[in-house]
Amino acid sequence: MIIPLFDTTINDVADKLLSIRLEGGVIALSRVLTLLVPVGAAAAEEAIAAANQSSMEHPCRLIVLIEGDPTGKSALDAEIRVGGDAGASEVVVLRLRGEMISQQDSLVVPLLLPDVPVVTWWPDRVPDVPANTPLGIVAERRVTDSRMADGSLAERLARLSHGYRPGDTDLAWTSLTWWRAHLASLLDQPPFEPITRVVVVGRTEHPTPVLLATWLGWKLHCPVEVEAIESTATLSRAELHRPSGVISIDRPQGTSTATLTMPSGQVRRFQLPPPSLSDCLSEELRRLDADTVYGEVVKRGLAWLQRGDHLTEITQTES
């Protein structure tokens, strides 16, 4: 059910939510967090659909803020979505125009659920410092998606690094969870030799392969190479080189099956499907503490990569 409220006030929206709560009883109260989603009009419905899917695991109040014409007359239109149009959440869509756009923090405060965490997710932009934005200040966790952001790869990575504060994360990093899990498990198997080199192959101008290579090189203290290719597959291959040979994981373009090849020639295939947007969001909503590994990678690892320390190590290894 979708309930439209045209040229309304935030108090009217709050009153309508209260009446829905009274009518719905306990089911309308079983929310574990408030999810704030500032998003452009073009990406709004995709973001709402992903959040609704995630709400099946994390019931929440979803507040979507869509910015309209900043020079127009100050106005607020709203929609309240419940039932089949809202997954396991309540969805409040606020369409802002004029001065309303600069008042987003004061608009959401009356709608925040009491005694539950607040998460802010920017589906289509990466603020310079998410924690310093009005909607970032009210949130315990702040989620961006540099895969969808404007700018070159270098600019997007620099924004993640310079703007990081504890509590931040990015879905380009979240999408690496299963790659990281499989690669880490390989290091727990004999022979226990040092990794002498890492090679990651992935899509041109995409942050995900760089983040994986940075994590591996930084943690393993070894040279790292990122090979960018024109492909629809974000991440195609990861290689761990050690004295006894190369361990590789390949996921060909357009498939969800990966192939693990060991130095002995042993080959094993397993499922490694690219995670959907709702998969990544659900994972981030499972933990509301700071992702310290991500913070170390973007604050220290990317600086190490940018300085070219890994290139020095490659030169020394080859010589």
Mean pLDDT, consecutive 10-residue stretches, the chain (319 aa), reads 92 90 62 93 94 90 92 92 77 94 94 94 95 96 93 92 96 96 91 92 90 94 89 89 95 90 93 94 92 95 78 39
DSSP 111-170: GSPTTS-EEEE-SS---SSGGGSHHHHT-SEEEE-TTS-SS-HHHHHHHHHHH--TTEEE
Neighbour count for residue 128 (Cβ, 10 Å): 10
Gap between the Cα atoms of 121 and 51, Å rounded:
10
pTM value > 0.75? yes
- Say if CB 81 and CB 2 are below 8 A apart: yes
Gap between the Cα atoms of 17 and 288, Å rounded:
26
First-residue to last-residue Cα distance in the chain = 68
**Which tokens go with 116?**
């539950």
**Which tokens go with 266?**
């042993």
Which pLDDT belongs to residue 310? 54
What are the tens digits of pLDDT across the range 281-295? 999 999 889 999 999
**Which tokens go with 57?**
């695991």
Gap between the Cα atoms of 315 and 254, Å rounded:
35
- Say if CB 90 and CB 61 are below 8 A apart: yes
Distances (CA, A) of 154 to 144, 201, 256: 16, 17, 28
What are the tens digits of pLDDT across the range 61-93? 999 999 988 888 999 999 999 877 667 678 999
- Say if CB 138 and CB 108 are below 8 A apart: yes
